[in-house]
């Protein structure tokens, strides 16, 4: 990082919509660590408090909790956008004041859901970077244009995958050439717990992520039910919690588990700040997302843990899984296909076990945090040099 350190001394204002510890939050944390290692002062503004905040402070960032407009899919309509504009007009003075008071040299907006920080940066005559983690190809063209409109105000854009670039790049300002793809850097477990040599008893499956319909957690329940109907012993740990407003979905999941008499096979673990023990306790990881994904951190986390993983075959999940022999891509939104994927791994356990151990080494080279931090710093040096 010698060249990056030479370009140190900036004040970077980072805007994040939440304060959780899911994929985009963890990548933000790695970016903050990179900025601090390069000697930058970093101020992070989150719309709410949460478990990310102490991690940011440990990384050396200052944190300001400031309510600011966040785009939800429910707002991607003329009426929703009108309400969003009203909210923005009231929040924009606070946002510009924070830019001024912190002396920010550059504004770094994490995800497309914090769009008006690029507007605040433009009005404050500061460069604004958008870090895109989205790839909503299934949205209507009109909704996609609304979601990606902030890219037209950006000085530079960082995409976390080729999938994200392909979906969102057309919405950027014509002629903008400061566009980069920086693959996520995923910090693996401190040490790898090798997969067990033989599967004696139930095959153990782990789901890690939000509990929401788009993440397909109900498919995990139905896949376990399908395996048991086939006479295959199987159980699953569901690790994660709901996004506010989706409590009904968790209730439905629990009701379905009860209706299928799977209380002894499926365990709701809840959110864990560190997922490594949960993944290490499994034989197979599962990533059943129905909706478009720009990338698949959970896929890489499973691979780094030396666990075979069954993955929905679409968008950024396919991109994340590419080149790893221990991944099984299956038809999305199909519980039977996920059950077949799990059974395929179980039936060739020695082969998949060996491939998973080899893949963990490959993933640690391809997606390590040192490479990620170096690339993020290179981008920032081009957008906001000293």
Mean pLDDT of the region 263-289: 97
Question: 65 forms bridges with which residues in the sheet?
Answer: 46
The pLDDT value given to residue 43: 99
Mean pLDDT of the region 301-311: 99
Domains defined along the chain, listed by start: 2-185+368-383 (3.40.50.2000), 203-366 (3.40.50.2000)
Give the pTM.
Answer: 0.89
Contacts of 357 (CB under 8 A, 6+ apart): 192, 194, 195, 306
Rounded to an integer, what distance in angstroms lies between the CA atom of residue 99 and that of residue 15? 11
Rounded to an integer, what distance in angstroms lies between the CA atom of residue 114 and that of residue 187? 25
Rounded to an integer, what distance in angstroms lies between the CA atom of residue 286 and that of residue 308? 9
pLDDT reading at 267 higher than 80: yes
The pLDDT value given to residue 1: 40
Phi, psi at 235, each rounded to 5°: -145, 160
The pLDDT value given to residue 99: 98
**Percent above pLDDT 70 for the chain:** 95
The pLDDT value given to residue 174: 65
pLDDT reading at 318 higher than 50: yes
Mean pLDDT of the region 274-283: 97
Q: How far apart are the first and last CA of the chain?
A: 16
Closest CA to 320 of 185, 217, 197, 204: 185
pLDDT in tens, 73-123: 666 666 776 777 787 788 999 999 999 999 999 999 999 988 789 999 999
Contact 126, 113 (CB under 8 A): no
Rounded to an integer, what distance in angstroms lies between the CA atom of residue 180 and that of residue 157? 6
How does the average pLDDT of the chain come out, rounded? Answer: 93
pLDDT reading at 228 higher than 90: yes
Mean pLDDT of the region 222-234: 99
Q: Give 173's pLDDT tier (boundaries 50, 70, 90).
A: low
Question: 130 forms bridges with which residues in the sheet?
Answer: 109, 157
């Amino acid at each position: 990082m010698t060249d990056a350190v030479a370009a140190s001394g900036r004040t970077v204002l980072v805007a994040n919509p939440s304060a959780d510890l899911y994929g985009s939050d963890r990548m933000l944390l790695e970016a903050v660590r990179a900025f601090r290692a390069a000697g930058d002062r970093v101020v992070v503004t989150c719309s709410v408090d949460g478990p990310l905040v102490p991690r940011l402070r440990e990384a050396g960032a200052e944190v300001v909790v400031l309510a600011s407009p966040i785009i939800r899919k429910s707002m991607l309509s003329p009426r929703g956008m009108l309400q969003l504009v009203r909210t923005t007009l009231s929040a924009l003075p606070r946002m510009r004041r924070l830019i001024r008071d912190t002396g920010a040299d550059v504004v770094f907006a994490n995800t497309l859901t914090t769009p008006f920080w690029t507007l605040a940066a433009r009005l404050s005559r500061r460069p604004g970077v958008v870090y895109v983690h989205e790839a909503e190809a299934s949205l209507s063209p009109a909704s996609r244009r609304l979601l990606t409109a902030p890219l037209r105000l950006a000085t530079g854009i960082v995409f976390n995958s080729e999938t994200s670039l392909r979906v969102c790049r057309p919405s950027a300002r014509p002629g903008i050439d400061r566009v980069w793809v920086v693959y996520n850097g995923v910090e693996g477990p401190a040490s790898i717990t090798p997969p067990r040599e033989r599967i004696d008893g139930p095959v153990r499956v782990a789901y890690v992520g939000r509990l929401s319909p788009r993440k397909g957690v109900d498919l995990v329940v139905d896949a376990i039910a399908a395996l048991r109907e086939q006479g295959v012993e199987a159980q699953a740990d569901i690790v994660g919690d709901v996004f506010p407003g989706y409590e009904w979905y968790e209730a439905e999941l629990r009701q379905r588990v009860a209706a299928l008499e799977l209380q002894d096979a499926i365990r709701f673990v809840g959110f864990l700040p560190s997922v490594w023990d949960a993944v290490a306790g499994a034989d197979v990881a599962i990533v059943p997302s129905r909706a478009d994904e720009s990338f698949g951190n959970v896929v890489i986390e499973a691979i780094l843990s030396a666990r075979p993983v069954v993955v929905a075959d679409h968008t950024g999940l396919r991109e994340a899984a590419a080149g790893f022999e221990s991944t099984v891509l299956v038809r999305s939104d199909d519980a039977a296909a996920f059950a077949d994927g799990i059974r395929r791994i179980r039936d060739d356990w020695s082969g998949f076990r060996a491939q998973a151990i080899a893949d963990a080494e490959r993933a640690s080279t391809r997606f390590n945090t040192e490479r990620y931090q170096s690339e993020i710093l290179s981008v920032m040096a081009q957008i906001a040099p000293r």
